Amino acid sequence: MGNTNFSITYGTEARDRPLSAVRVHRAAGDPRRGWLTADGWSVPVALGRGGILANKREGDGGTPRGIYQPLQLWWRADRHTRPQTFLPVRPIRPEDGWCEEPKDRHYNQPIRLARDQAGDRLTRDDHLYDFIVEIDHNSGPRIAGRGSAVFLHLARANFSATAGCVSMTKSAMLRLLRRMGPQTKIIIG
C-alpha cells in the first residue's frame, strides 16, 4: 500500500475571524461609564461626559447612539509595535490632526497641521491617542455641527469621561483590535 498524503481542514477558529459586532452600553448608575461586550467578554469603558445621546451635537460631550463601522486604526508607531488587527492601519505622524471646526470644509476629517498651527493633534503627550479606531460617525454625509472626532481610544487611569468617545484600557483595546475588521458593527446605545 502506497503512502497517502491527506490533510484534514477544520473550521476557522472564531478568534481568527473579525467580530460581526461589538456593543457599547451605559453602566447602571453612571451615564459616563459603560461596558463594551463582544463574543462573550465584557470590558469597562468610559463614555462622553454627556452620556449616550441620540441627537449628537458638536461640543455636547455626548457619545452618539447608533450603529457604526470602524474605518481604520491610527497608532503611535513611535511608542508601540504595530498591533494585530483586520483593520487598515495608519501610523500617527506629528503633523496629523483632526478638524473639529464645523465651518471648515475639512470638518470631521483628518488634517495636517503645521508645527505652530492650532488644532486637535493626534500626537499627544499622554497616551489616550496611542491607539485610535476611527469610526464612521458623521462621515457620509458630514453635517456641520453633528459631532466630530468620535473614536475608540485609550482611557485615563481613573476612567474619567471623554468628550464623546469610547475609551478603554490598553489591554482591552489590543484584545478588541485582534478581532475587529472593517465589517464589524459598533452598536452604541
Q: Domain spans of the chain?
A: 17-188
Which residue's entry shows cell 485615563?
A: 156
Measured in degrees and rounded to the nearest 5, phi and psi for residue 173 equal: -60, -45
Residue 2 has pLDDT above 50, yes or no: no
Residue 95 has pLDDT above 60, yes or no: yes
pLDDT at 55: 95
CA distances from 178 to 26, 71, 146, 157 (A): 24, 15, 30, 23
| Confidence grade of residue 127 (pLDDT, cut at 50, 70, 90) | very high
Residue with more model confidence, 8 or 116: 116
Are 34 and 26 spatial neighbours (Cβ–Cβ below 8 Å)? Answer: yes
> For the whole model, what pTM was predicted?
0.90
Domain spanning 17-188 has what CATH number? 2.40.440
Average pLDDT value for residue range 117-130 = 91
Residue 165 has pLDDT above 50, yes or no: yes
| Pairwise CA distance, residues 167 & 66, whole Å | 17
| Confidence grade of residue 115 (pLDDT, cut at 50, 70, 90) | confident
